[in-house]
Amino acid sequence: DVKVTQSSRYLVKRTGEKVFLECVQDMDHENMFWYRQDPGLGLRLIYFSYDVKMKEKGDIPEGYSVSREKKERFSLILESASTNQTSMYLCASSSGQGTGELFFGEGSRLTVL
Amino acid sequence: AQSVTQLGSHVSVSEGALVLLRCNYSSSVPPYLFWYVQYPNQGLQLLLKYTTGATLVKGINGFEAEFKKSETSFHLTKPSAHMSDAAEYFCAVSGPNTDKLIFGTGTRLQVFP
């Protein structure tokens, strides 16, 4: 069964802390994505990666960075967490064949105090 | 530029009643259209998609959607709601040959016995 695994389901951090959210996929997919999900705003794309070490900004990249050193792993980094980054973060992957079918992880709910 | 608008952030139906979730899109290129479903405490999964060809597409769990270019719509329907259909539903759009989707704000479906 295909799988996208996010390392932490729930995290609580303090303002100013550096936060790492990890995502691993086992489908040998080319593309990986980080979305942020907020009530009433739907899903907003933070960053995506179409190849190892390649990345592209999404719609709301400010305050975030990403790393993709290996094909199966895509990390989202909050350099200095702020309270307005409290949210649900969803990782997804896709084959890269342009089918539009994304496979999502279960999400990481981050609370910044 | 592309966008989607989901009319109604909450929809409530009785078990056995028709489900209709509305989605209108805007796209400067031929659109690929998607419906994703998110069950409680889970990530999103693909329900159905339209790329080209037949405008009525069928998905999992008895859902279907019809692409209407003249109305720029892609509404999701199911003839008879089941309690297990309670979830949040997201409409999304992309252009051809890309996995970079633009999501709507979501519609939460409640099903009452």
User: Distance between CA atoms of B74 and B4, rounded to whole angstroms?
Assistant: 10
What residues of chain B score a pLDDT lower than 70? none
Average pLDDT over residues A11-36: 96
Q: Is B24 on the interface with A (CB under 8 A)?
A: no
Per-residue pLDDT, A74: 97
Please name the residue that has the structure tokens 């709910």.
Answer: A109
User: Distance between CA atoms of A49 and A51, rounded to whole angstroms?
Assistant: 6
Q: Which residue in B4, B25, B44 has the most chain A C-beta atoms within 10 A of its own C-beta, making it the best mutation to test that interface?
A: B44
User: Distance between CA atoms of A55 and A63, rounded to whole angstroms?
Assistant: 15
CA angle B44, B97, B62 (to 5 degrees): 40
Residue B62 is classified by DSSP as G
Residue B30 is classified by DSSP as P
Per-residue pLDDT, A1: 65
Is A98 within 8 Å of B99 when comparing Cβ atoms? yes
Is B43 within 8 Å of A40 when comparing Cβ atoms? no
The 10s digit of each residue's pLDDT in A35-78 is 999 998 999 999 999 999 899 999 999 999 999 999 999 999 99
Of residues A35, A98, A107, nearest to B98 (C-beta): A98
The 10s digit of each residue's pLDDT in B62-83 is 999 999 999 999 999 999 999 9
Is B45 within 8 Å of A104 when comparing Cβ atoms? yes
Q: Which residue in B35, B36, B100 has the most chain A C-beta atoms within 10 A of its own C-beta, making it the best mutation to test that interface?
A: B100
Whether A2 has a pLDDT exceeding 70, the answer reads: no
Per-residue pLDDT, A93: 96
All residues of chain B having their beta carbon less than 8 Å from the beta carbon of residue A41 are 105
Beta bridge partners of B7: B22
Q: How many other C-beta atoms are found inside a 10 Å radius of the C-beta of residue B49?
A: 19
User: Distance between CA atoms of B90 and A42, rounded to whole angstroms?
Assistant: 8
The 10s digit of each residue's pLDDT in A79-110 is 999 999 999 999 999 988 778 889 999 999 99
Please name the residue that has the structure tokens 């979730």.
Answer: B21
All residues of chain B having their beta carbon less than 8 Å from the beta carbon of residue A90 are 43-44
